[in-house]
Structures are given as structure tokens and as C-alpha cells.
A and B are shown apart, each in its own frame.
Chain A
Amino acid sequence: AQKVTQAQTEISVVEKEDVTLDCVYETRDTTYYLFWYKQPPSGELVFLIRRNSFDEQNEISGRYSWNFQKSTSSFNFTITASQVVDSAVYFCALSEARTGANNLFFGTGTRLTVIP
């Protein structure tokens, strides 16, 4: 069965520090998709990135970077030079190709607090 584990419940960092949010997943599918979403205090989930199981290239977008490693079943998210606006709950999610409706299975989230 599919599973997404975000072991870090809460993280606090001082502004301008780098922070890495961990995500470990389990799946029996050989084709799957991984996602990160941001949930600011307003509540709406904001899509950040999707990664396909056949593409292990790391990705960088501004201060955000993602490290996908199939060998360890991990899809970690790093924020460089954190800012107060990064304070939010971050969710990692998994979608398996065999599920026709592309349902997302979410981790329990990591609450990031950036202290000014």
C-alpha cells in the first residue's frame, strides 16, 4: 500500500537560515508521482512541484530545491535563505499510476515557522 511519511511535525528556523523538509514514501508501483504543496495560514493548498518516478533529476526554483532519490524513497525539499513568508504547513504527496483517478495520498505535513 502507498504511504507518505513526514517525520518532522514542526520546524522553527531563524530568517535567512536554510531548512530541509523530509519526505519518505512507500509504493509498489514502478510509475508514480510525487508532489509538494504549501498551505499558508489562509488554508488554501498551493501546488509547488511534481516529480515523476522516471525522472530523478533534482530541481531548483529560486530559493526552493528538491532532492529526489529513489534508492532511499525520499523526496526532500530545501528552502534556502528562508523568509517569514515561507512560514506554512508543507505537505508531501504521492500518486500512483495504477489509480485511474490519480488520487493523492498526503503525508501529515510539516509546520515550518520562520522567525524574523
Chain B
Amino acid sequence: SQTIHQWPATLVQPVGSPLSLECTVEGTSNPNLYWYRQAAGRGLQLLFYSVGIGQISSEVPQNLSASRPQDRQFILSSKKLLLSDSGFYLCAWMAGVDREQYFGPGTRLTVT
């Protein structure tokens, strides 16, 4: 069966520090991968998606970036965090024609 992992689960970082969040998927090949952010008390905002290794599409201009160095690995990064980057970051994968996305446990980021 497929499994999606995210780490770390929680993170507290000062403004201006770098960020690296990692997401890995097991049990599937060539999935679409997604990064979402959920601000406190709000809905989900799609940040990036990837349909293959090295292929990244950005939905929202910001100081975040994403990379996909391996088929089942998706990384969210920032060189300098802003207070507005605080939120709950969720990684998701989708494979096949079913179209439903399956989400990881999320990373709760607090920028201080």
C-alpha cells in the first residue's frame, strides 16, 4: 500500500532563517506531488506541484521554492523565512486516473 511521509512534524524557526521540508512517498511510481499551505483557520492554498522529476510548477509567487530530486521525493525550501510563512504545510500525492489526492501528516511551521 502507499504511504506518504513528511518531516519534521513541527518546526519553530526565526525570521530570516532557511527552511527545508521533506516529503516522500512509498508504494507508487511517478506520482504527481503537491505542496499546500494552510494558514490558521483558513483553507488550503496550493503552492507547488510536480508531474515528474525536476518538473516544478509554482502557483503562488513567494519566497518559497520546491524541488523534486527523486521520483518520490518532494522538498519545500526557503532561503529566508518571513513571518507570513507560518502555517501548516501539507504534501500530497496522486497517481493513476483516480484524481484524488492523498495527504501526508503535515508540518506545522511557526516563524518567530
- Bound CA span A50–B96, Å: 14
Cα–Cα distance between A37 and B103 once the two chains are bound (Å): 10
Q: Smallest distance from the beta carbon of A49 to chain B beta carbons, Å? A: 9
| Interface SS majority for chain B | strand
> A103 and B46 in contact (CB under 8 A), knowing A33-B99, A43-B88, A50-B100?
yes
In contact, A101 and B51 (Cβ under 8 angstroms): yes
Whether A91 sits at the interface, judged by CB under 8 Å, is yes
Quick check: is A115 within 8 A (CB to CB) of the other chain?
A: no
**Is there a chain A Cβ closer than 8 Å to B57's Cβ?**
yes
Residues of A within 8 A of B44 (CB): 45, 91, 104, 106
Cβ of A92 to closest chain B Cβ, rounded Å? 10
* Dominant secondary structure of chain A at its interface with chain B: loop
Contact A102 B106, CB 8 Å, known A91-B44, A107-B43: no
Docked CA distance A104–B92 (Å): 11
CA distance A21 to B106 in the complex (A): 25
Q: Which of A33, A45, A101 contacts B57 (CB 8 A)?
A: A101
The answer, among B59, B102, B106, B108, for a CB contact under 8 Å with A47, is B102
Question: In the assembly, what is the distance between CA of A87 and CA of B106, in Å?
Answer: 19
Beta-carbon contact of B34 and A47 below 8 Å: no
Instruction: Write out the residue numbers on chain A whose beta carbons fall within 8 Å of the beta carbon of B51.
Output: 100-101
Once the chains bind, are A44 and B32 in contact (CB under 8 Å)? Answer: no
Q: What residue of chain A has the Cβ atom nearest to residue B108's Cβ?
A: A43
Contacts A101-B51, A108-B43: A50 and B99 contacting too (C-beta < 8 A)? yes
Which residues of B, 32-61, contact A by the 8 Å Cβ criterion? 32, 34, 42-44, 46, 49, 51, 57, 59
Interface residues of B in 59-112 (CB under 8 A from A): 59, 88, 90, 92, 94, 98-106, 108
Instruction: Pick from A43, A91, A101, A106: contact of B32, CB below 8 A.
Output: A101
Alpha-carbon separation in the docked complex, A102 to B42 (Å): 22
* 9 closest residue pairs by CB, A with B: A45-B103, A108-B43, A106-B44, A43-B106, A50-B100, A106-B43, A101-B49, A44-B105, A33-B99
If A47-B101, A106-B43 are given as contacts, then 6 extra A-B residue pairs at C-beta distance below 8 Å, sorted by A number, are: A33-B99, A45-B90, A47-B100, A95-B99, A102-B99, A102-B101
